[in-house]
């Protein structure tokens, strides 16, 4: 049970109010719960998503879910698609025509150098119940069929009025902060008068769920994530739900030409799928349809006062590459630890300003890359202007997605010593302990257990230093944590008796993190490097204290 301060017969107080109970809102609840932050989540719909969409969870998202303790549950929910890896593009599924845009997500297993995790195909309708269950187990007060009616903010907090759609009862919620995860048409963003930048609408599709017992035989052993079917008269994207009987088909929709949703009758949709697949008498039963709109937009700012935008309320992206949902989940992860730190008093409110400084540039670069990937994959219904193809800076260049998913950086924000001229999304993957980048992965042994270095980062700041040196950084961390009342864990890495962590094999932790054996690395709770000293300091206590005060706005 959350410990709320009762404010009246139908009122309550909570540190954080989350509006929206889809992937990003539920992830926000999960991360806040892991950090012990009481909160309320309201969602106007009666339950989680029923439609199999948003299935691609990238490696960074799975790293986050690993640390949050839900990786195994998600993999169990996703087990039916565990062997689906590639993206196929073909005129029809009959015969051997077509080509694999890629056949394996991680050919050769090279990802293991960078991460303990992997991509995971878990559809939204399967992932959301896992997040909901886990968030509630952590004490989250999650209220479905509950709609935000209005909100006002002042210098001390936000007062929101919500309504139960089941009983009609109104409740006033007083929150210190509000997180708006209320979707692309966010009423909260509109109320805050926050504009958006970007090209806007890109294309429109109708997502059709259907059953077909014979389609699995046509597909054969081609275990794709998605298949782009390119018959000009019946193009679309086919996605397996269980590789056997249940499927999804994205059909192009052109409202800009006056086409209406009512025109997508069962008869038309069945004929379209049959022609796209290449089997005129294929058994097809339409079980559902949902329109969706692909767009490229980013909010002009991610916060106003005590209200923060996250997920689709902050950015819209083309679905190709599943960048949108992953970026939103990572928004929530970035924001959760900062809210926790400020609410607990070990960081000043200025830390929250870094949320916009860090996450908005990532969304701008990532959304450009998502649009470019739609061009590369010839996504059904998308015919971009020639001048738009390949634009958008480093995030928009043709190429792989690992750099976008894992190697994005924060040149500005709650970091010290970052290269402010460096691109937000680099051309390659370089994770060597530079401030503003995700801390390097390496395997370690702690108290006899094998862990990734990434498993160290969640509830506190972490200082890494050598076990083979003087221990000056370790002693400085203990003293500074006490003086500043900051949760700061200090780990000495090496092979000696003083070591808290032992590297696997002959790995050199200092080299991996870009410092000498006398240096130190400070990592944030979200796993990003906040600061590092490449060598020794004459006064490590003062050096570390100044760094923490600046990073956490303790001045």
> Strand, helix or coil at 191?
helix
pLDDT for position 1: 37
Q: Tens-of-pLDDT digits for all 555 residues of the chain?
A: 333 344 445 799 999 999 999 999 999 999 999 999 999 999 999 999 887 777 789 999 999 999 999 999 999 999 999 999 889 999 999 988 889 988 888 878 889 999 999 999 998 999 999 999 999 999 999 999 999 999 999 999 999 999 999 999 999 999 999 999 999 999 999 999 999 999 998 889 999 999 999 999 999 999 999 999 999 999 999 999 999 999 999 999 999 889 999 999 999 999 999 999 999 999 999 999 988 888 999 999 999 999 999 999 999 998 877 899 999 999 999 999 999 999 999 999 999 999 999 999 999 999 998 888 777 766 666 666 554 444 433 333 345 789 999 999 999 999 999 999 999 999 999 999 999 999 999 999 999 999 999 999 999 999 999 998 889 999 999 999 999 999 999 999 998 889 999 999 989 999 999 999 999 999 999 999 999 999 999 999 999 999 999 999 997
CA distances, 433 to each of 430, 439, 494, 522 (Å):
9, 5, 17, 10
> Strand, helix or coil at 538?
coil
Residue-level length of the chain: 555
Residue 366 backbone dihedrals phi, psi, to 5 degrees: -70, -40
Q: 254-258 — which CB contacts under 8 Å span 24+ positions?
A: 254/204, 254/381, 255/204, 256/204
In whole angstroms, give the CA distance from residue 241 to residue 49.
Answer: 15
- Which helix or strand (DSSP H or E) is residue 368 part of? helix 353-376
Q: Which domains does the chain have, with CATH numbers?
A: 5-197+296-406 (3.50.50.60), 198-295 (3.30.9.10), 443-551 (3.40.30.120)
In whole angstroms, give the CA distance from residue 519 to residue 533.
Answer: 5
In whole angstroms, give the CA distance from residue 457 to residue 438.
Answer: 11
Residues 416 and 544: beta-carbon distance below 8 Å: no
pLDDT for position 355: 98
Query: How many CB atoms within 10 Å of residue 514?
Result: 18
Residues 51 and 41: beta-carbon distance below 8 Å: no
In whole angstroms, give the CA distance from residue 29 to residue 41.
Answer: 7
> Strand, helix or coil at 304?
strand
As a three-state string, the secondary structure of 158-185 is EEEEEEECCCCCEEEEEEEEEEECCCCC
β-partners of residue 13 are 5, 174
pLDDT for position 2: 38
């Amino acid at each position: 049970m959350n410990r709320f301060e009762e404010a009246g017969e139908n009122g309550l107080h909570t540190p954080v109010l989350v509006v929206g109970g889809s992937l990003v809102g539920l992830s926000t609840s999960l991360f806040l719960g892991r950090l012990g932050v009481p909160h309320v989540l309201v969602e106007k719909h009666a339950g989680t998503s029923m439609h199999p969409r948003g299935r691609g969870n990238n490696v960074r998202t799975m790293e986050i879910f690993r640390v949050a303790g839900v990786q195994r549950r998600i993999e169990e929910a996703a087990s039916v698609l565990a062997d689906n890896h590639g993206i196929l593009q073909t005129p029809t599924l009959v015969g051997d025509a077509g080509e694999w845009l890629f056949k394996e997500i991680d050919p050769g297993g090279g990802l293991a150098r960078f991460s303990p995790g992997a991509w995971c195909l878990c559809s939204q309708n399967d992932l959301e119940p896992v997040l909901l269950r886990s968030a509630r187990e952590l004490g989250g007060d999650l209220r479905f069929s509950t709609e935000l009616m209005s909100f006002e903010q002042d210098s001390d907090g936000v007062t929101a009025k919500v309504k139960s759609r089941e009983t009609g009862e109104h409740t006033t919620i007083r929150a210190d902060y509000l997180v708006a995860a209320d979707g692309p048409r966010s009423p909260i963003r509109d109320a805050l008068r926050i504009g958006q930048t970007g090209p806007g609408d890109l294309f429109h599709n109708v997502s059709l769920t259907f059953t077909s017992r014979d389609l699995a035989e046509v597909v054969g052993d081609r275990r794709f994530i998605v298949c782009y079917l390119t018959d000009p008269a019946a193009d679309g994207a086919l996605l397996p739900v269980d590789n056997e009987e249940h499927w999804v088909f994205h059909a192009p929709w052109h409202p800009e030409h006056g086409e209406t949703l009512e025109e997508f009758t069962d008869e038309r949709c069945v004929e379209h799928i049959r022609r796209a697949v290449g089997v005129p008498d294929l058994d097809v039963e339409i079980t559902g349809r949902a329109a969706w709109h692909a767009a490229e937009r980013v909010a002009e700012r991610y916060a106003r006062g005590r209200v923060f935008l996250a997920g689709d309320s902050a950015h819209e992206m083309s679905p190709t590459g599943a960048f949108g949902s992953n970026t939103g989940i990572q928004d929530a992860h970035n924001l959760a630890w900062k809210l926790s730190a400020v609410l607990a008093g070990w960081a000043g409110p200025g830390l929250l300003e870094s949320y916009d400084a860090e996450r908005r540039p990532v969304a701008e670069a990532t959304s450009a890359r998502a649009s470019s990937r739609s061009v590369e994959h010839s996504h059904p219904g998308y015919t971009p202007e020639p001048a738009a193809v390949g634009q958008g800076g480093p995030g928009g260049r043709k190429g792989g997605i690992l750099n976008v998913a894992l190697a994005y950086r924060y040149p500005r924000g709650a970091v010290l010593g970052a290269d402010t001229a460096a691109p937000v999304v680099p051309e390659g993957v370089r994770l060597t302990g530079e401030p503003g980048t995700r801390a390097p992965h390496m395997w370690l042994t702690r108290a006899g257990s094998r862990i990734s270095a990434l498993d160290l980062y969640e509830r506190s700041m972490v200082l890494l230093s050598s076990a083979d040196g003087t221990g000056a950084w370790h002693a400085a961390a203990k003293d500074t944590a006490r003086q500043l009342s900051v949760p700061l864990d200090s780990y000495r890495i090496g092979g000696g008796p003083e070591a808290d962590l032992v590297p696997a094999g002959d790995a050199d932790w200092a080299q991996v993190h870009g410092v000498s054996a006398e240096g130190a690395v400070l990592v944030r709770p979200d796993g990003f490097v906040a600061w590092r000293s490449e060598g020794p300091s004459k006064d490590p206590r003062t050096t570390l204290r100044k760094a923490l005060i600046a990073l956490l706005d303790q001045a």
